[in-house]
Structure 1
Amino acid sequence: MRVVVVGGSGLIGAHVVDVLRERGHEVTAVARTARPGIDRALDAERATVAELRALVAGHDGVVYAARTDEAKPLPKPIYPGFRANLVEPLARLFTAARDEGLTRGALMGSYYTYFHRLHPQWRLPEHHTYIRCRVEQAAEARAAAGAGLPVAVVELPFVLGEGGGRLPNWSGPWERWARSGAPLFAPDGGTAAVSARSVAETTAGALERASGEDLPVADQNLTWRELFARIAAATGRARTVHRLPGTAVRVPATLGGALMSLAGRQSGIDPAHFGRLALTDLYVEPVSGRSLDAAIRQTVRAG
């Protein structure tokens, strides 16, 4: 196959490029700015359909692996901006891919859409603009692609590891906390976690099968206390992680959301609702069972 990887310099995109090449496929790595390892510099979020057609022409598949910061506070209303970043570029990209006769595609989504399918009573898209746009992203990308171009949605949980010189956007504060030697606390609940390498292998497999499935991915399900303890151990500062009462999560999150609203700002993930959601077991089944040790060491830059 010949595959375009948009976001090819990022944490996940760099691994997708590597895995596809290891499997014998030709790859065109695309990023906003030119740098070593990037074949084409293009801002795919703002590119026109005509520009994207020129980019994907002659290829068999396309992967969209660009990243969006869902928690960054922005001036209200935030929905148009999130649509412009998450939904509209995908619709243009897969329109271009369809028009150029590509036969397979994949995009990096979020495990929140997985939980939306499992638990519609949580009303996640109503509470969180980011999740609403992730749901719309998958639907509109597939609608633009049409029946002849299946699009797999790889639904990502917490991603661990390093790729293209980049780390998860949450890793810095957590690493500094773990290295500080300060007492560690974590609430009830937990999350699915996956290495960037596992995401890339799932993505490559989906392209090879021309899959149009929703693909939730996880290597392990970890409580927050387990995850924090493993991060601390990877920094060389192993210690006990104490239980944090749920009220110590919910109350500050609700207060923070109220203060943000008073300031005329909003984030893609609503703090008040997320304060309750974070106390839930956000687990994905099945898991691969692969070790996360190396990915955790890379995440805290101790590997």
Structure 2
Amino acid sequence: MDRRRLLRLALSVPVAARAGLLASSMAMAADPKSAAKPSTPARDRRPARPRLVMLDPGHGGADPGAIGTHGTQEKDVTLDIAREVARLLADRHRITARLTRNDDRFLALDERVALTRKSEADLFVSIHADSAPNADARGLSAYTLSSKASDGFASRLAQQENRADRFGGLDMKGSKQVVKDILLDLTARHTRNASLFARQTLVRGVAKDLRLLENPMRAANFAVLKAPDVPSLLVETGFLSNPKDEEILRDAEARRRVARVLAREIAAVLSNRSFA
């Protein structure tokens, strides 16, 4: 059974039944003779579908995100970079890319997650250029989901990002989480491991061409990364709170360079056999 289908099936049943379902399904996958249905002849098998990445330009609409000292708005930077990454993935790497938003509109965090899950994406990348807790912080960094933040820097970033829904007039205090405590859910183990692999591959590749934040691989409880069945990353392309990073991200050609590097490394993640 396909690993993604297994995750979705497990998520559709009560928690108490998931472990048994997952174990029996894995046993069937490991022992074809245990399955009542005969294997499909090779000539009848459909070719694997093209890889799909969902790109999420952070903020938008009433939510400008960070604003630099020269007035650079994060929502504009992220949309421009995401559009270019999508174009490059399609033209140079033959990878399908979709955007959660393709114009200046507000999207709630859970809407971004829902769009990603509905598309059955292989990878979700949320693109940002936030205001850092430390004004001296600059450079690219990548974040995965964790119930416990890797450090105070990542924790404050997550708290800041998770408040984005207030721009849409949403009261998140009583909102239903997409998944409750998914890091403890057996079905999310593969998603977590794939996210960690994607983060490491992307950051190591980006380091060849772009400046990185000190300790560029971090984790925190980002609401936008909570799809249980889609490996997810949040990438800070730089920080508009830093004058040097703002100068770079204000420049159209510099943004194109960032997009080229991101597209190349996203393609590297999706083409690696270790990323299933």
Instruction: Provide TM-score, normalisation by structure 2.
Output: 0.35
Instruction: Provide TM-score, normalisation by structure 1.
Output: 0.33
Q: Which has the higher strand share?
A: 1
